[in-house]
Amino acid sequence: MMEKMIFGRYIPGDSIIHHMDPRSKLIFVFAYICIVFLANNLVTYGILTMFTVLIMLVSKVSIRFFLNGLKPILWLVVFTFFLQVFFNRQGDLLYHYAFIRIYSEGIRQGIFISLRFLLLIFLTSLLTLTTTPISLTDGIESLLNLLKKVKFPVHELALMMSISLRFIPTLMDETEKIMKAQMARGANFSSGSLKERMKAVIPLLIPLFVSSFKRAEELATAMEARGYQGGEGRTKYRLLIWKAADTLSLCLLALITILLAVFRT
């Protein structure tokens, strides 16, 4: 079941990007999402595309994984493209047939907006493809640390995230086991009307919930027995190290932002 999951999948590798600090990667992606919207002409989109392709190459991740990440969102990209093409009424009229009018500006905008989508998807997939979920959690925790001042439960959030991540495969296995056990007793998960199928899920969901509660209780006991008293007075085993590559990447980002600001119209 794990193989089908594309979202949040990590591909082990040995590139500079793999070894970067998750904090810099998170800041980078967040800022990048913002500056993508600065681009509004051929030059600025050109800069962004070149830059994105460049980091994709540096990451040494096979293009196949990026395309996989694109699949579920592809229809949205195509949809927005055609929306622009058919309904944008600016620029020169290129084609006219019955009620369909296609304008040059429509095609231009359509291409730009689809490109914007693609760039965003590629870069965010690059983040999850090159960063382990646990270091992402660490990065988020460390970046959210500022929020501690306003009583935001940063440690609790991070702990919940890491425990959830750790239990995903365990619960997947269990789901499969319960499913097979119910199938052995005559449950049918793969045919029938929508209503029948929804009903069939109940004998799967309820045992899964009950066992999750039991797991949670046992885990809490085990954690307490090992001295867990909350976030106060804890030290951390995993260490985030800010390296030269991280500073460099943020400098690069600043450079791109300036370029975009200069060349946009």
Partner 1 sequence: MTEGTKAVIAIDQVSFRYPEQESYALQNISFQIYEGEWMAIVGHNGSGKSTLAKLLNGLQFPETGDITVDGMKLSEETVWEIRRKVGMVFQNPDNQFVGTTVQDDVAFGLENHGVPRDVMVRRVHEALEHVRMSAFLDQEPHHLSGGQKQRVAIAGIIALQPRVIILDEATSMLDPVGRREVLETIRKLKNEAGLTVISITHDLDEASQADRMVVMNQGKVYKEGLPRDIFQMDETLTKLGLDIPFPIKMAKALEAKGFHFPNIYLTDEELVDALWTLHLNK
Least separation in angstroms between CB 223 and partner 1: 6
Rounded to 10°, the helix 42-59/104-130 angle is 20
Q: How far is the C-alpha of 171 from the C-alpha of 78, rounded, in Å? A: 35
Q: Residue holding tokens 């990667």? A: 25
Q: How far is the C-alpha of 2 from the C-alpha of 194, rounded, in Å? A: 25
Counting contacts by CB under 8 A, is residue 223 touching partner 1? yes
Q: How far is the C-alpha of 254 from the C-alpha of 74, rounded, in Å? A: 30
Least separation in angstroms between CB 237 and partner 1: 4
Tell me the window of 79-87, 110-118, 145-153, 218-226 that interacts with partner 1 (CB under 8 A): 218-226
Report the residue from 227, 244, 262, 265 that binds partner 1 according to the rule CB under 8 A.
227
Rounded to 10°, the helix 22-36/104-130 angle is 170
Least separation in angstroms between CB 225 and partner 1: 4
Least separation in angstroms between CB 1 and partner 1: 11
| Structure token pair of residue 248 | 């460099």
Q: Residue holding tokens 């020169």? A: 92
Counting contacts by CB under 8 A, is residue 262 touching partner 1? no
Closest C-alpha to 20, from 243, 265, 252: 243
Tell me the window of 109-117, 192-200, 231-239, 242-250 that interacts with partner 1 (CB under 8 A): 231-239
Tell me the window of 24-32, 113-121, 199-207, 220-228 that interacts with partner 1 (CB under 8 A): 220-228
Q: How far is the C-alpha of 113 from the C-alpha of 135, rounded, in Å? A: 32
Q: How far is the C-alpha of 181 from the C-alpha of 162, rounded, in Å? A: 29
Sign of the dihedral defined by the CA atoms of residues 252, 250, 14, 133, in that order:
negative
Counting contacts by CB under 8 A, is residue 76 touching partner 1? no
| Nearer Cβ to partner 1 (92/232) | 232
CA 227 to chain centre: 34
Tell me the window of 52-60, 95-103, 139-147, 222-230 that interacts with partner 1 (CB under 8 A): 222-230
Q: What is the pattern of x (binds partner 1, CB under 8 A) and - over residues 129-168? A: ----xx---------------------------xx-xx--
| Nearer Cβ to partner 1 (100/225) | 225
Q: Which residues bind partner 1 (CB under 8 A)?
A: 133-134, 162-163, 165-166, 169-170, 173, 214-215, 218-219, 221-229, 233-239
